[in-house]
Chain A
Amino acid sequence: ILNVEQSPQSLHVQEGDSTNFTCSFPSSNFYALHWYRWETAKSPEALFVMTLNGDEKKKGRISATLNTKEGYSYLYIKGSQPEDSATYLCAFISNFGNEKLTFGTGTRLTIIP
C-alpha cells in the first residue's frame, strides 16, 4: 500500500496572503507526482505533473516544488484570491509501470475575503 499524506487537512487564509501546504509520498520507486485542484461542484483539474527531483513548476500565482529524495512536494499560492478556494490533491505514481495514481486526502483551502 502506498502512503500519500497531505497536511494540513484544512486551511483558512485571508485574501491577499500567501500560503503553502505539503504532500508526502514514498521516496522509493518514484515516477511522478501530480497536483490537482478540486473546486466544489466541479471535477478535479490537473495543475502540475512533476517528475524530476528539484523540479519547480509555476502557473500564475501557484507554484510547486518537488523533493523526490526525501519524499515531499510543496504547493505555494501567492496573494490568495477567493477563486483559489478548493481542495488541493496530490497524487503519486510509482515506477511499477501501471500508471495508477494514489491520491492523498487533500488540503481544503478556504480564502476569507
Chain B
Amino acid sequence: SQTIHQWPATLVQPVGSPLSLECTVEGTSNPNLYWYRQAAGRGLQLLFYSVGIGQISSEVPQNLSASRPQDRQFILSSKKLLLSDSGFYLCAWSSQGAETQYFGPGTRLLVL
C-alpha cells in the first residue's frame, strides 16, 4: 500500500531564516506530487506541483521554491522566511492520469 510522509510535524522559525520541508511517498512510482498551504482562515492553496523528476510548476509568486530530486521525494524550501509564510503545509500525491489526491500529515510552520 502507498504511504506519504512529511516532516517535521511542527516548526517554529525566525523571520529571515531558511526553510526545508520534506515529503516522501512509498509504494508507488512516478506519482504527481503537490505542495499546498492553508493560511489562517483560508482554504487550501496549491503552491507547486510536479509530474516528474526535476519538473516543477509554480502556482503563485512567492519566496518559496520546490524541488524533486528523486521520483518520490518533494522538497519545499525558502532562503528567507517571511511572517506571511506561517501556515499549515500539506504534501499530496496522485497517480498519473488519476485525480484523487492523498495527503500527508502536514507541517505546521510558525514564523516569528
Across-interface contacts of B46 in A (CB, < 8 A): 100-103
Across-interface contacts of B94 in A (CB, < 8 A): 99
- A98 to B103 alpha-carbon distance, docked (Å): 18
**Do A44 and B103 touch across chains, with their CB atoms under 8 A apart?**
yes
**Do B100 and A44 touch across chains, with their CB atoms under 8 A apart?**
no
A89 to B, closest residue via Cβ: B44
Beyond A43-B106, A99-B32, A100-B49, whether A49 also contacts B99 by CB under 8 A is yes
Neighbour of B99 across the interface among A43, A44, A93, A105, CB < 8 A: A93
Q: Is A46 an interface residue (CB 8 A)?
A: yes
State which residues 3-58 of B face A: CB under 8 Å. 32, 34, 36, 42-46, 49, 57
- A91 to B49 alpha-carbon distance, docked (Å): 16
Interface size on A (CB < 8 Å)?
21
Q: Is A62 an interface residue (CB 8 A)?
A: no
Instruction: Encode A31-61 as 1/0 by CB contact (under 8 A) with B.
Output: 1101000000011111001000000000000
Instruction: Encode A87-113 as 1/0 by CB contact (under 8 A) with B.
Output: 001010100001111111110000000
B4 to A, closest residue via Cβ: A43
Across-interface contacts of A103 in B (CB, < 8 A): 36, 43-46
Across-interface contacts of B97 in A (CB, < 8 A): 99
B44 to A, closest residue via Cβ: A103
Most buried by A among B43, B46, B57: B43
Beyond A43-B90, A89-B44, A106-B43, whether A101 also contacts B104 by CB under 8 A is no
- A111 to B53 alpha-carbon distance, docked (Å): 44
**Do A34 and B99 touch across chains, with their CB atoms under 8 A apart?**
yes
**Do A49 and B32 touch across chains, with their CB atoms under 8 A apart?**
no
- A43 to B44 alpha-carbon distance, docked (Å): 12
Shortest beta-carbon distance from A89 to chain B in Å: 7
Using a CB–CB cutoff of 8 Å, the interface residues on chain B facing chain A are: 32, 34, 36, 42-46, 49, 57, 59, 90, 94, 97, 99-106
User: Would you mind naming 5 contact pairs between A and B with Cβ atoms under 8 Å apart?
Assistant: A43-B106, A49-B99, A98-B49, A101-B34, A103-B44
List 4 A-B pairs, minimum CB-CB distance, nearest first: A105-B43, A43-B103, A103-B44, A44-B103
